[in-house]
Amino acid sequence: MSIQTIAWKRDRIKIIDQTRLPNELRYTYIKDVRQLFQAIRSMKIRGAPALAAAGALGVVLAAHQSRLRSKTQFRRQLKRVIEYLGSCRPTAVNLFWGLGRMQEVLDKNRDKSPDVLKSFLLIEARQIIEQDRIACRKMAKAGSRLIKNGDKILTICNAGILATIDYGTALGVIYQAKRAGKRFSVFACETRPLLQGARLTTWELKKKGVSVRLICDSLAATLMRKKQITKVLVGADRIARNGDVANKVGTYNLAVLANWHGIPFYVVAPLSSFDRQIKTGKDIPIEQRSPLEVTHNLFKCSIAPRGVKVLNPAFDVTPNQLITAIVTEKGLFYRDSILQGQLLRQSENGSYANRRSVP
Ligand code: MRU
């Protein structure tokens, strides 16, 4: 069964409404940029690489709906759209990377008419989508070599098809290992508070025929001590120049635990998640989300006393020394090579990597 996270269809953006999963697989059409902004904020569409596509298609949507004939006014209007979409969610650098590429198309083609720019922008967005598809397949191939028969893999949040265009990052490695006939099992952390692990990761792994067991986030330490976990595989929302990784809150906990128990901890992420303008993880902006996500469950009934103070950062940063290797479309980068700057150099070679124009 094919799962199409995001696509350009009939001059609109088609997405899976991920807030309805696992109970209902509902596709929905985004009709304007304001609706896209809300869809991203409310997590109908989420996951770092999928946000790159969403941002790029948002610019295409605004361009197609523009009636402006003046080149300057058209470019100014789209610049405002790019800034607006760039203010949706702060942590996943892929969103800014996708928007930056669209801005670059506008900047390089100042002499072109709005009609020509509309088609150039669509071509660019399609390239971003295709690039992600290829990157996921390459990461899956490179990463699947790490998986051995009998492995017990732990993952957090959703770094799968639903977070990308196709196949996923950490889960792509798992799909590829299964295709290669390897036998292993997967544990998914539920991922409080929005339960991307429970709702999305288990849903897509089941659809793909991968056997998965859902665990409470707090069970990870015990499973590791009992040797029921042999590898941790996670995605990334932003990787700093020194290899520090921001990912869903709780990832750092898993990295500390894995280190303590001598378990390899792998991050799987495309070079578009690499931010070479940021030196260390300390500079990565961490999204703070609504207290209601913590005080109320997804069915909106209260699970905490009214008025209780809440901290709800959506991401945390795992320092490079806890990461065994980062799997990218250019292959594996082990801790030492990351510290020696090899990952940084690869990201510089990657076309457009981190040429952002949006803060
Ligand atoms: O808040 P979310 O659901 O957008 O967070 C997503 C994650 O943390 C993923 O692990 C990350 O984006 C990598 S997805 C391939």
Please choose from 157, 268, 293 the residue to mutate so as to test ligand 1's pocket, defined by most ligand atoms within 8 A of CB.
157
End-to-end CA distance of the chain: 38
What is the mean predicted confidence (pLDDT) over 179-206?
A: 97
Please choose from 165, 248, 267 the residue to mutate so as to test ligand 1's pocket, defined by most ligand atoms within 8 A of CB.
248
Say yes or no: CB of residue 350 within 6 Å of ligand 1. Answer: no
Amino acid 100 reads G
For residue 300, what are the contacts with CB-CB under 8 A and spacing of at least 6?
A: none
Q: Closest ligand 1 atom, CA of 314?
A: 1
pLDDT at res. 341? 78
Q: Closest ligand 1 atom, CA of 196?
A: 3
| Annotated active-site residue in 132, 237, 244, 316 | 237
Percent of the chain surpassing pLDDT 70: 96
Q: Which of 186-195, 236-245, 337-346 shows the lowest per-residue confidence on average (mean pLDDT)?
A: 337-346
Say yes or no: CB of residue 171 within 6 Å of ligand 1. Answer: no
Residue 152 has pLDDT above 50, yes or no: yes
Say yes or no: CB of residue 47 within 6 Å of ligand 1. Answer: yes
What is the mean predicted confidence (pLDDT) over 144-152?
A: 98
Say yes or no: CB of residue 236 within 6 Å of ligand 1. Answer: yes
pLDDT at res. 345? 79
Residue 359 has pLDDT above 80, yes or no: no
Query: Could you give phi then psi for residue 27, rounded to 5 degrees?
Result: -90, 145
Per-residue confidence band for 349, with pLDDT thresholds at 50, 70 and 90:
low
Paired strand residues for 296: 302
Q: Is 237 a catalytic residue?
A: yes
Question: Residue 169's closest CA among 45, 5, 40, 328?
Answer: 328
Cα→Cα distances 261→222, 226, 235, 244, 276, Å:
10, 10, 21, 20, 31
pLDDT at res. 160? 98
Query: Could you give phi then psi for residue 90, rounded to 5 degrees?
Result: -90, -20
pLDDT at res. 322? 96
pLDDT at res. 298? 74
Residue 355 has pLDDT above 70, yes or no: no
What is the mean predicted confidence (pLDDT) over 225-247?
A: 97
Question: Interhelix angle for 71-85 vs 114-144, to 10°?
Answer: 30
| Burial track 334-346 (b if 16+ CB lie within 10 A, e otherwise) | ebebbeeebbbeb
Residue 356 has pLDDT above 50, yes or no: no
Say yes or no: CB of residue 247 within 6 Å of ligand 1. Answer: yes
Say yes or no: CB of residue 346 within 6 Å of ligand 1. Answer: no
What is the mean predicted confidence (pLDDT) over 20-32?
A: 96
Question: Residue 293's closest CA among 196, 209, 156, 177?
Answer: 196
Q: Which of 102-106, 205-209, 272-276, 305-309 shows the lowest per-residue confidence on average (mean pLDDT)?
A: 305-309
How much is the mean pLDDT over the chain? 94
Per-residue confidence band for 102, with pLDDT thresholds at 50, 70 and 90:
very high
What is the mean predicted confidence (pLDDT) over 107-129?
A: 97
Measuring from atom 8 of ligand 1, which residue has the nearest CA?
Answer: 248
Give me 100's structure tokens: 């930056």
pLDDT at res. 241? 94
d(CA 355, CA 272): 10
pTM exceeds 0.75 for this model: yes
Q: Rounded to the nearest whole angstrom, what is the distance from the C-alpha of residue 307 to the centroid of ligand 1? A: 29
Q: Rounded to the nearest whole angstrom, what is the distance from the C-alpha of residue 123 to the centroid of ligand 1? A: 26
What is the mean predicted confidence (pLDDT) over 204-230?
A: 97
